[in-house]
Amino acid sequence: MAEYVSEAKSIAAPRSAVYAKLSDLSNLNALAEMLPEGKVNLTAVDSDSCTLTINPVGQITLRIAERKPDNLIRFEADRSPIPLDAHIQLDEATPGNTKLTVMLKAELNMFVKPMLDKPLREGVDKLAMLLSSLKYA
């Protein structure tokens, strides 16, 4: 299983506020306008799942599988062309300052890995950057 980890991004907000926003996916509708046009579309969102259409990969539905308050949100793919899961890890660097890290694990066979390795590596960093740019106050 291939593992991709983003750089830690700093958010000027308490960890509890960041967790509260990210653990309810319906709060992420604002993210739809920030996604790269033509490459990623957020097609459906509710409090526990979101469906993305990613070109050229196809449609992926992620569902929250585990919530650890103020610390971790773990996602599993309900529908995906490749088996994967993802985590958002939150650490409080100092009071009122949260570090966010995105991790993705994907089962990539030897034929697919060369094609998807770089886009997945870049994708987790871009997602972490987008999530860190949201308003949490």
Report the pLDDT value the prediction gives residue 66, as an integer from 0 to 100: 97
Whether 20 is in a domain gets the answer yes
Question: pLDDT digit string (tens) for 20-46?
Answer: 999 999 988 878 788 877 788 888 899
As for how many domains the chain has, the answer is 1
Whether 43 is in a domain gets the answer yes
pLDDT value at 56 more than 80: no
Whether 137 is in a domain gets the answer no
Report the pLDDT value the prediction gives residue 121, as an integer from 0 to 100: 94
Written as one string, the DSSP assignment of 39-53 is TEEEEEE-SSEEEEE
Report the pLDDT value the prediction gives residue 118, as an integer from 0 to 100: 92
Band (57; pLDDT cuts 50, 70, 90):
confident
Whether 53 contacts 61, CB under 8 Å:
no
Question: pLDDT digit string (tens) for 63-75?
Answer: 999 999 999 999 9
pTM: 0.91
Question: pLDDT digit string (tens) for 65-118?
Answer: 999 999 999 999 988 888 999 999 999 989 999 999 999 999 999 998 998 899
| Percent of the chain whose pLDDT exceeds 70 | 100
Whether 79 contacts 61, CB under 8 Å:
yes
Q: What is the DSSP letter of 111?
A: T
Whether 117 is in a domain gets the answer yes
The rounded distance, in Å, linking the Cα atoms of 137 and 7 is 23
* Structural domain boundaries enclosing 77: 2-132
Whether 66 is in a domain gets the answer yes
CATH number, position 100: 3.30.530.20
